[in-house]
Amino acid sequence: MPDQAEEFQSVGCDSAIVTADSATVTSDSAKHLGIGHVQPENAVTMARNGRSRSRGKRSHDRPEYADAPDQLYVADITYVPTWAGFLYLAVVLDVFSRRIVGWSMAGHMRTELVLDALEMAIWQRRPDGVIHHSDRGSQYTSVAFGNRCRQAGVRPSMSSVGDCYDNSMAESFFATLECELIDRTRFRNHTEARLAVFQFIEGWYNPHRRHSALGYASPINFERQYYAQTESRKPSTAAG
């Protein structure tokens, strides 16, 4: 298991100081992005998406596992507080690698917010028959969202009412975002928040943020390992 110093050195940091008592992390790169890999003060189960959640019974008919990229996505919405009001963030996360494959930010929670995140995922990944799992928020149950899923060959899946476990992986990402960025930064306006969230997702989380569930690889590196192993298993073609 790599320690924090190794983690920051792997992304080119000259120094990394971890204080267990205060759970603070400082480094040249982390300070530039305003982030650090820290533990949350309290484990929380409430979503930051404005929709209340309660602990319901676990349903056993929902998708939970993927053994390759672009088999199963989970999606959800959260908010980022700023002095100018909330900025809403919709994400699409690949369950296999924990990679954020689609995201969108706006000052509203209309259907366009989740549609834009879905469009990014479709454009970046070109999935074939992927399952898209979400809660039953009005954005995901809208006619427009359902039509776009059908057009793109995306198979919608929705959680049972009151089941907070369904989107646990998306909630885990939001908890990481909250702990490592939002709780440590004050944004004056949406522009500042957009830039910081973009840097967090594309500059830190996807390429460098290590996960114990991925063998302490980052989402992008985990996918690279998968494709390298897949390629190595292919039978070689002898030259004629």
Q: Tell me if 64 is assigned to some domain.
A: no
Say whether both 154 and 76 belong to one domain. yes
Contact call for residues 140 and 112 (beta carbons, < 8 A): no
Q: Tell me if 170 is assigned to some domain.
A: yes
Say whether both 21 and 83 belong to one domain. no
Q: Tell me if 39 is assigned to some domain.
A: no
Say whether both 121 and 176 belong to one domain. yes
Q: Tell me if 51 is assigned to some domain.
A: no
pLDDT at 137 over 90: yes
Say whether both 21 and 101 belong to one domain. no
Side-chain half-sphere CA neighbours of 168 within 13 A: 13
Token pair, residue 82, equals 């700023």
Say whether both 110 and 184 belong to one domain. yes
pLDDT tens per residue across span 60-98: 344 567 999 999 999 999 999 999 999 999 999 999 999
Say whether both 186 and 99 belong to one domain. yes
Residue-wise over 114-145: b if at least 16 C-beta within 10 A, else e?
Answer: bbbbbbbbbeebebeebbbbbbebebbebeeb
pLDDT tens per residue across span 195-217: 999 999 999 999 999 999 999 99
Of 25-29, 146-150, 158-162, 225-229, where does mean pLDDT reach its minimum? 25-29
Say whether both 172 and 77 belong to one domain. yes
Q: Tell me if 216 is assigned to some domain.
A: no
Q: Tell me if 164 is assigned to some domain.
A: yes
pLDDT tens per residue across span 11-23: 444 333 232 233 3
Say whether both 12 and 115 belong to one domain. no
Q: Strand 155-158 and strand 72-80: pairing?
A: unpaired
Give the CA distances from residue 98 to residues 106, 125, 200, 204, in Å, rounded to whole numbers and listed in that order: 23, 14, 14, 13
Tell me how many domains the chain contains. Answer: 2
Contact call for residues 97 and 124 (beta carbons, < 8 A): no
Averaged pLDDT, 154-181 = 84
Domain ranges, residue 19: 4-33
Q: Tell me if 95 is assigned to some domain.
A: yes
Q: Note the Cα 32 to chain centre separation in Å.
A: 21
pLDDT value for 65: 79
Q: Tell me if 87 is assigned to some domain.
A: yes
Split at pLDDT 50, 70, 90, the class of 29 is very low
